[in-house]
């Protein structure tokens, strides 16, 4: 299990570091919202899921996509705007999808994938499926009305669904304390009759909590469950840089999170030679993915109106 966790954490961290490195060259054709520092949430959750389970994520969705098994080549090609990308190069970093691996999509519009996830969970329930849905979203998404409508519907219909709030304290540059009267988001979810917990930034704690919830759902006891996962983004809201100079947060604040880096902590649980061989395999895979993107063509002009809503009636 330690090896699996470390491989998944290291892979996401290194993919995003390479994205950050490539970004200034303008080869990456969409804005990127990096989740460096937040990897433990996606990995802890997805390691507890089964291949047939489903995830929906936000625009900060690279980690959930990769942790759930989304194809790396197709992800990087998507960032490069190439036709081999997971959304044929038309979606970019904020719109990752890999249906074969249960990644049903991410969206730039805050909060919108939460009702999508609830709808999908309702369909699974009506079909009598054993699969369940995990919905990833930020603390900022809990400022949206549709979040509360989804909580209510999920609780009412006892949906096979796990709400994953990645609470990194900020919505762009605004701290949660300046936006929300009650900072404990789990407490608000609990008021809908949903079992809800706050979880520390610890990949094993996240995994254990989700594993327990997933087993309860699969046993027929029903859902939903809610987890507020405390975490922190090390990079700026959008883009590859740091933004401590902007003054809305301090490097000192970040330090306690960086000291608890879950990629490093997980790596230290492995023997050095094993860790080195995992890292070498991941590095080769990442190099291949960037080469795949670089060598893939852009979509042709006649792709412009394909797969576009309403295009068939145009």
Q: Which residues bind ligand TPP (CB under 6 A)?
A: 58, 60, 108-110, 137-141, 168, 170-172, 237
Q: Which of 45, 41, 12, 10 is nearest to 168 (CA)?
A: 41
Q: How far is the CB of 127 from ligand TPP (least distance, A)?
A: 30
Give the number of C-alpha atoms closer than 13 A to the C-alpha of residue 167, restricted to the C-beta side.
21
Output 137 or 153, the one with its CB closest to ligand TPP. 137
Output 120 or 136, the one with its CB closest to ligand TPP. 136
Q: How far is the CB of 41 from ligand TPP (least distance, A)?
A: 10
- Contact predicate 36/114, CB 8 Å: no
Output 58 or 150, the one with its CB closest to ligand TPP. 58
Q: How far is the CB of 128 from ligand TPP (least distance, A)?
A: 33
Q: How far is the CB of 58 from ligand TPP (least distance, A)?
A: 6
Rounded CA separation 113/100 (Å): 18
Output 98 or 139, the one with its CB closest to ligand TPP. 139
Q: In the beta sheet, which residues pair with residue 199? A: 229
Q: How far is the CB of 286 from ligand TPP (least distance, A)?
A: 23
Distances (CA, A) of 70 to 8, 135, 242, 281, 307: 12, 16, 27, 17, 21
Output 248 or 305, the one with its CB closest to ligand TPP. 248
Q: Would you call 201 helix, strand, or coil by DSSP?
A: coil
Q: Would you call 9 helix, strand, or coil by DSSP?
A: helix
Q: Indicate the angle between helix axes 2-22 and 72-79, nearest 10 degrees.
A: 20
| Contacts of 203 by beta carbon, 8 Å cutoff, 6+ apart | 5, 9, 39, 40, 43, 44, 262, 265, 266
Rounded CA separation 21/18 (Å): 5
Output 196 or 214, the one with its CB closest to ligand TPP. 196
Output 93 or 168, the one with its CB closest to ligand TPP. 168
Q: How far is the CB of 283 from ligand TPP (least distance, A)?
A: 27
Q: How far is the CB of 205 from ligand TPP (least distance, A)?
A: 20
């Amino acid at each position: 299990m330690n090896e699996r966790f470390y491989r998944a954490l290291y892979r996401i961290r290194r993919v995003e570091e390479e994205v950050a490195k490539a970004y200034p060259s303008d080869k990456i054709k969409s804005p990127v919202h990096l989740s460096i520092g937040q990897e433990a949430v996606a990995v802890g959750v997805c390691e507890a899921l089964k291949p047939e389970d489903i995830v929906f994520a936000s625009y900060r969705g690279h980690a959930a996509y990769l942790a759930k098994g989304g194809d790396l080549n197709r992800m990087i090609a998507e960032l490069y705007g190439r036709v081999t990308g997971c959304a044929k190069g038309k979606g970019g970093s904020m719109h990752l999808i890999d249906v074969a691996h249960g990644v049903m999509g991410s969206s730039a519009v805050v909060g919108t994938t939460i009702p999508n996830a609830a709808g999908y969970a309702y369909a699974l329930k009506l079909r009598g499926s054993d699969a369940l849905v995990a919905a990833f979203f930020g603390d900022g998404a809990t400022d949206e009305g549709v979040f509360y409508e989804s909580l209510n519907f999920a609780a009412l219909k006892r949906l096979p669904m796990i709400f994953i709030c990645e609470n990194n304290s900020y919505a762009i540059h605004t701290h949660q304390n300046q936006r929300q009267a009650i900072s404990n988001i789990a407490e608000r979810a609990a008021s809908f009759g949903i079992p809800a917990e706050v979880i520390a930034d610890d990949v094993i704690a996240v995994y254990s909590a989700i594993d327990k919830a997933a087993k309860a759902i699969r046993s027929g006891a029903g859902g939903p469950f809610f987890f507020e996962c405390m975490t922190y983004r090390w990079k700026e809201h959008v883009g590859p840089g740091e933004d401590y100079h902007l003054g809305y947060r301090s490097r000192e604040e970040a330090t306690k999170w960086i000291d608890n880096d879950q990629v490093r902590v997980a790596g230290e649980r492995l023997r050095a030679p094993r860790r080195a061989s995992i890292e070498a395999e991941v590095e080769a895979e990442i190099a291949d993915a960037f080469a795949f993107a670089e060598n893939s063509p852009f979509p042709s002009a006649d792709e412009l109106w394909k797969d576009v809503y309403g295009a068939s009636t145009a």
